[in-house]
Structure 1
Amino acid sequence: MAGHSKWANIQHRKGKQDAKRGKIFTKIIREITVAARLGGGDPGSNPRLRLAMDKALAANMNKDNIERAIKKATGELEGVSYEEIRYEGYAPGGVAVIVDTMTDNRMRTVAEVRHAFNKFGGNLGTDGSVAFMFKKLGVASFAPGADEDAITNAAIDAGADDVVVHPEDGSIEVIAAPENFDAVLAGFEAAGLKPDESEVTLRADNDIAVEGDTAVTVVKLLDWLEDLDDVQEVYSNADLPAEAYED
């Protein structure tokens, strides 16, 4: 890390997502649909679906819309069939990027993703070209000022792998294996603690600090990719300064 605020980066990203709430709803519905299709419509036995539903409720999505998406996925209602496709590539500055998509038209999706990389001076790679740099993790984030001792004790009791206090801003991240993440979140709930953000995500083993015009271009590429209708998540190993997010 180059000393950039992890919490500030989370908030900048969240602010941009909130400004595009309609697209966020579409992405959440697709995630609910695929999760229910693959693991069944019962969130009690489908952790991926439960996380997607939690994300939907946190975004103030109507419960009827959530139930409708589940019913479409499980065949109770007619719906669109989506497939999950991952793309990998490099942004300027040697930044590794992973793009997870859900689509009903893979030719359209790959064309749009490739165009985004080309437009901002990056290049789309082959399967596996950058994925080896990332690990799948459950991450619960707490804002600066949260009770470190209470969070640490609850995390240890619930089986988390690590608790990271970021010295740049005092924010706290609790890291867990994806299969244990539900138990960790349940442990926090039992202890009366609520993470400000929680997700199963991909994290790079090592981040690359990017500055100046290159950082601005990387942010533009990541934003462009996130704004594509078929894109669900965008991951990178870029360590970006707050000013790179300014319009």
Structure 2
Amino acid sequence: MAGHSKWANIKHKKAATDAKRGKIWTRLIKEITVAARLGGADPNANPRLRLAIDKAADANMPKDNVNRAVQRGSGGLEGANYEEIRYEGYGINGAAIIVDCMTDNRVRTVAEVRHAFNKYGGNMGTEGSVAFLFKHCGQFFFAPGTDEDKLMEVALDAGAEDVIADEEGGFEVICDPYEFSNVKEKLEAAGLKAEVAEVVMKPATETVFTGEDAQKMQKLLDAIENLDDVQEVYTNAVIEE
């Protein structure tokens, strides 16, 4: 994929995230609640919870909201009991899509996800139908102008798997998902702040969409992302602006 399209998509994603802050908070509260339930209330001993709390801080979520979600998950407060579900499917021209959900009503969620796929030209697949096209990993994007030698040294010393330069002069750092918090902490301690830092399902290959197909694919992705029970959407489609 060309460097221009990568950075355009990163900026587009950040802008879209900022525009949906209220929804982002709702999703983070679910993630914190489930992470605390599964791994305990101590973020130092629960990497998933630590990551969710870091994301909440980046999204300017009040600490009281975070603490209540942790208490709810660890049994201190009553609340909805969410379960995690992953759906897989195909978009325009067979593009692969993974949809991660948290729900208190599995029947409602699968109906809503299937409806979104069908309405906007996609279709749901079976479990495992597209997941093999993605890698579960930590991913950091650094803007063009970042000191390559410093980034390479710090990232690899911290346990990153790879540092990849793109055509525009930016860099992508990949790490094991369970090393994400450690790598992030060491990068930031060295003054290296990523534009985007997430644990993701990274596609092995990408397909660029332009023109009418790009518009159709974006409508499908937006419809899925706007569902209340959807936490994350991953795709190997790259939408050119």
**TM-score, normalized by the shorter chain, greater than 0.5:** yes
**Residues paired across the two proteins, number:** 241
Task: Give the Å deviation of 1:3.
Answer: 5.4
Match of 2:136 in 1: 136
Match of 1:202 in 2: 201
Match of 1:17 in 2: 17
Task: Give the Å deviation of 1:215.
Answer: 1.1
Match of 2:189 in 1: 190
Contact 2:87–2:100 (Cα < 8 Å) also in 1? yes
Task: Give the Å deviation of 1:202.
Answer: 0.3
Aligned residues: CA RMSD:
1.2
- Unpaired runs of 5+ residues, structure 1, are none
Contact 1:2–1:209 (Cα < 8 Å) also in 2? no
Match of 1:232 in 2: 231
Which one is further off, 198-207 or 137-146? 137-146
Residue 111 of structure 2 aligns to a residue whose secondary structure is helix
Aligned pairs for 1:79-90 within 5 A: 79-90=79-90
- Unpaired runs of 5+ residues, structure 2, are none
| CA offset digits 1:194-236 (Å, max 9, x no partner) | 2221111001111112221111111111111111110000000
The 4+ residue runs of structure 1 with deviation greater than 2 A are: 1-5
| Percent identity between the two aligned chains | 61
Residue 12 of structure 2 aligns to a residue whose secondary structure is helix
Indicate yes or no: 2:62 matched with 1:67.
no
Residue 5 of structure 1 aligns to a residue whose secondary structure is helix
| CA offset digits 1:123-174 (Å, max 9, x no partner) | 011111111111101011112222222111111111111111110x222111
Contact 1:2–1:239 (Cα < 8 Å) also in 2? no
Normalising by structure 2, what TM-score? Answer: 0.96
In 1, Cα distance between equivalents of 2:136 and 2:237: 17
In 2, Cα distance between equivalents of 1:133 and 1:197: 22
In 1, Cα distance between equivalents of 2:205 and 2:89: 16
In 2, Cα distance between equivalents of 1:149 and 1:183: 20
In 2, Cα distance between equivalents of 1:201 and 1:220: 22
Match of 2:32 in 1: 32
Contact 2:142–2:172 (Cα < 8 Å) also in 1? yes
Contact 1:4–1:239 (Cα < 8 Å) also in 2? no
Match of 2:211 in 1: 212
Which one is further off, 124-133 or 9-18? 9-18
